[in-house]
Chains A and B, each alone.
Chain A
Amino acid sequence: MSDAIEVKSVTRVFGGNGKGPAKALDDVSLSVKEGELFGLLGPNGAGKTTLIKILATLLLPSSGQVKVLGYDVEKEVDKIRPRINMVSGGDVGGYGLLTVRENLWMFSQFYGIPTKEANERIDHLLKLFALDDKSNAKVRTISTGQKQKMNVIRGFVTEPDVIYLDEPTLGLDVNASFAIRTYLRKWVKEQKGKTMLLTTHYMVEADELCDRVAIIDKGKILACDTPINLKRMLRRSSTFDVETTIFPEIESMGRLAGVEGFQVKQLGDKVVTRYVVEQESVIADVISAIQSKGGKLTSLSKTEPTLEDVFIHLVGRGLE
């Protein structure tokens, strides 16, 4: 199977608003195979959107080489653009005065799809996303979730060979997110040879959908593998959820020897802290340290590693 996306040593520098140049991508290399659903996981400002914009022919890399479907994003845009599409969460596109159907039709025209064919695809997708009852509603009158569904349909109506989804479920409720995730899974499964690159904040989404995941932070790829293999990275390590009362200098716990990853969540007057430790014995030191700082242990459990733990392990902090 050949590569749908090849990124070689790509760096992208922005002006930096007077604070000196800012590196959004720093020597990034990765490849995505045809037919693969590839996830890009990273916190805000990690460089995910910058990479997607480069792949979508909207931005040039400062250095390095990027190929999509075998074509160079800088010199062969005309060969790439008819075969790609992009959906960004939060951005809807189109015009509020047009109906949902008209907006989708308008974008289909920019890809040269005959009206009859475009309408058939639009009808099919509207039904799949349970948006058919809103097809004749003006875009400015529909809800945020419905707008985002329309946005996703816009991306798929052109039947691209490669689609980039930048946080497609951002800010959506459970039902709308579920509908979109279900469709994405179905699309990659049924449309053989079609490639999807998905960026997301949601670890579960990446774990559930992606064939492979790259973890990116501060413009660098920290790891890239299947979710199973990434979780295997933590086999040597152990993950514990420790519930305690609130105690001072809790953040300093992350700096204890043997603690590889650390994430704190406050729940009422309790604190649940996830520790990724080198060896199980380290947790004894952690408990001693908690007690010496005046914290009271209320529960302790060992957990199976998740993608989130991998992220904490690699980045040293959680996403939130």
Chain B
Amino acid sequence: MIDWRLQCRAIYGRAYPRAIGALREPSWMFFDIFLPLLSISAFIFYYRALGAPAVYEGFVVIGGAMTAFWLSVMWGMATQFYWEKETGNLELYMMAPMSKMSILAGMALGGMFLTSVRAISTIVLGVIIFQVQMQLTSPLLLVFAFIITLIALYGMGMLFSSLYMFWGRGAWHLSNLMQEPIYLVSGFYFPVKQLGFYVAMAASIIPITLGLDSMRQILFGAGANGLLPVVEEIAILCVVAVVFIIAAWYSLRHMEYLGKKEGRLVLRSQ
């Protein structure tokens, strides 16, 4: 039987250092909020140089803000167990009685908090500086789409984290690989539909693709050139979230067994 009280305490326990640690390191404020805005600005000026309609500037602001979540999932989630192993924490986590999913959920929650602050700051500043016009029709639907996107996205992060656990340096390179190609196929800076329906649907396995598309549709209406109706996109995201979380659970159990059998939980990769 699952001891939910224990799991909740474990989630809170692991989320705490993520949230408080970030606030305690003042350098993050500067680097993680103001500087990414520069890259977003560059893409906006690029669109201006091309003479793009103003709505594309809004796409860049939203896409740029969501980049923070993708980086958080790749670097703060997927590669984290590997770091924990190197610093000696992983075996303490493995030996403790809570589900290891709770540790991942804690990291995800803490990461979401930190990244949401960064992303919202980016959006607010982007909207103010570049005078982005939005037609927010349904705030509740927007919040729901955002939350379900994050759950699906961090569910994917949990799956990657368990897969990466013993992979070491290779995981680092894979996380690096999954930046530019994902920015392209998930439509971070333009409507994903422009890549063609089938490419866009294939890219929808990455939750941020449909998450971005649905949020843009809610924020910019018909101008967003959406792939599927918003409700369908959210429904798919719900399914993807469940699939990733279940897959992460199985993968984590399997990797823990493998780690114990092969001794990889106790050996470091140096």
A–B touching in complex (CB under 8 Å): yes
A contact residues vs B (CB 8 Å cutoff): 12, 14-15, 49, 53, 56-60, 78, 81-82, 84-86, 88, 91-95, 97-98, 102, 105-114, 138, 154
Of the 9-residue stretches B38-46, B69-77, B92-100, B189-197, which lies at the interface with chain A?
B92-100
A154 vs B95: C-alpha distance when bound (angstroms): 13
Determine the chain A residues whose CB is within 8 A of the CB of B263 once the complex forms: 12, 14-15, 59
Knowing A82-B97, A98-B17, the reply to whether A109 touches B88 (Cβ < 8 A) is: no
A58 vs B96: C-alpha distance when bound (angstroms): 10
Q: A53-B265, A59-B266, A78-B97 are in contact. List 13 more A-B contacts (CB 8 A).
A: A56-B91, A58-B94, A59-B263, A81-B95, A81-B97, A86-B95, A93-B87, A93-B92, A107-B13, A107-B92, A110-B97, A112-B10, A154-B92
Determine the chain B residues whose CB is within 8 A of the CB of A108 once the complex forms: 13
A32 vs B6: C-alpha distance when bound (angstroms): 29
Determine the chain B residues whose CB is within 8 A of the CB of A56 once the complex forms: 91, 95
Knowing A57-B95, A58-B94, the reply to whether A110 touches B266 (Cβ < 8 A) is: no
Query: Cβ of A112 and Cβ of B260 under 8 Å apart?
Result: no
Which chain B residues (1-40) contact chain A, with CB distance < 8 Å? Answer: 3, 5-6, 9-10, 12-14, 16-17, 20-21, 24-25
A12 vs B261: C-alpha distance when bound (angstroms): 10
Determine the chain A residues whose CB is within 8 A of the CB of B14 once the complex forms: 106, 109-110
- Does any Cβ of A come within 8 Å of B133's Cβ? no
By CB atoms of chain B within 10 A, which of A93, A94, A102 has the most?
A93
B78-109 interface bits toward A, Cβ cutoff 8 Å, 1 = contact, 0 = none: 00000000011101111111100001000000
Knowing A58-B265, A112-B5, the reply to whether A106 touches B17 (Cβ < 8 A) is: yes
Query: Cβ of B265 and Cβ of A59 under 8 Å apart?
Result: yes
Determine the chain B residues whose CB is within 8 A of the CB of A78 once the complex forms: 97
Determine the chain A residues whose CB is within 8 A of the CB of B17 once the complex forms: 95, 97-98, 102, 106
Query: Cβ of B16 and Cβ of A102 under 8 Å apart?
Result: yes
Which residue of chain A lies nearest to B87 when distances are taken between CB atoms in the complex? A93
Determine the chain A residues whose CB is within 8 A of the CB of B89 once the complex forms: 93-95
Query: Cβ of B266 and Cβ of A53 under 8 Å apart?
Result: yes
Determine the chain A residues whose CB is within 8 A of the CB of B87 once the complex forms: 93
- Measured CB to CB, the closest approach of chain A to B194, in angstroms, equals 43
- Measured CB to CB, the closest approach of chain A to B260, in angstroms, equals 5
Which residue of chain A lies nearest to B103 when distances are taken between CB atoms in the complex? A110
Knowing A58-B95, A81-B97, the reply to whether A106 touches B266 (Cβ < 8 A) is: no
Knowing A59-B263, A60-B260, A98-B20, the reply to whether A112 touches B97 (Cβ < 8 A) is: yes
Determine the chain B residues whose CB is within 8 A of the CB of A109 once the complex forms: 9-10, 12-14
Knowing A97-B21, A105-B13, A109-B12, the reply to whether A60 touches B261 (Cβ < 8 A) is: yes
Determine the chain B residues whose CB is within 8 A of the CB of A91 once the complex forms: 88
Query: Cβ of B21 and Cβ of A95 under 8 Å apart?
Result: yes
Q: Name 28 A/B residue pairs within 8 A (Cβ), A-sorted.
A: A12-B263, A15-B263, A53-B91, A58-B260, A58-B266, A59-B260, A59-B263, A59-B266, A93-B89, A97-B20, A97-B25, A98-B16, A98-B17, A102-B16, A106-B16, A106-B17, A107-B92, A109-B9, A109-B13, A110-B10, A110-B93, A110-B97, A111-B96, A112-B3, A112-B9, A112-B10, A112-B98, A154-B92
Which residue of chain B lies nearest to A49 when distances are taken between CB atoms in the complex? B266
Which residue of chain A lies nearest to B261 when distances are taken between CB atoms in the complex? A60
Determine the chain B residues whose CB is within 8 A of the CB of A82 once the complex forms: 97
B contact residues vs A (CB 8 Å cutoff): 3, 5-6, 9-10, 12-14, 16-17, 20-21, 24-25, 87-89, 91-98, 103, 260-263, 265-266
Determine the chain B residues whose CB is within 8 A of the CB of A94 once the complex forms: 89
A63 vs B91: C-alpha distance when bound (angstroms): 22
Determine the chain A residues whose CB is within 8 A of the CB of B94 once the complex forms: 57-58
A85 vs B5: C-alpha distance when bound (angstroms): 20
A49 vs B88: C-alpha distance when bound (angstroms): 14
Query: Cβ of A81 and Cβ of B20 under 8 Å apart?
Result: no
Determine the chain B residues whose CB is within 8 A of the CB of A81 once the complex forms: 95-97
From A60, A93, A98, give the contact of B88 (CB < 8 A): A93
Query: Cβ of B261 and Cβ of A112 under 8 Å apart?
Result: no
Determine the chain B residues whose CB is within 8 A of the CB of A57 once the complex forms: 94-95, 260
Determine the chain A residues whose CB is within 8 A of the CB of B261 once the complex forms: 60
A122 vs B10: C-alpha distance when bound (angstroms): 17
- Measured CB to CB, the closest approach of chain B to A51, in angstroms, equals 12
Determine the chain A residues whose CB is within 8 A of the CB of B266 once the complex forms: 49, 53, 58-59
Determine the chain B residues whose CB is within 8 A of the CB of A15 once the complex forms: 262-263
- Measured CB to CB, the closest approach of chain A to B209, in angstroms, equals 33
Determine the chain B residues whose CB is within 8 A of the CB of A88 once the complex forms: 88
Determine the chain B residues whose CB is within 8 A of the CB of A111 once the complex forms: 6, 96-98
A110 vs B222: C-alpha distance when bound (angstroms): 48
A77 vs B260: C-alpha distance when bound (angstroms): 12
- Measured CB to CB, the closest approach of chain B to A183, in angstroms, equals 20
Which residue of chain A lies nearest to B260 when distances are taken between CB atoms in the complex? A60
A108 vs B94: C-alpha distance when bound (angstroms): 14
Query: Cβ of B96 and Cβ of A110 under 8 Å apart?
Result: yes
Determine the chain B residues whose CB is within 8 A of the CB of A106 once the complex forms: 13-14, 16-17
- Measured CB to CB, the closest approach of chain A to B109, in angstroms, equals 13
- Measured CB to CB, the closest approach of chain B to A170, in angstroms, equals 14
Determine the chain B residues whose CB is within 8 A of the CB of A49 once the complex forms: 266
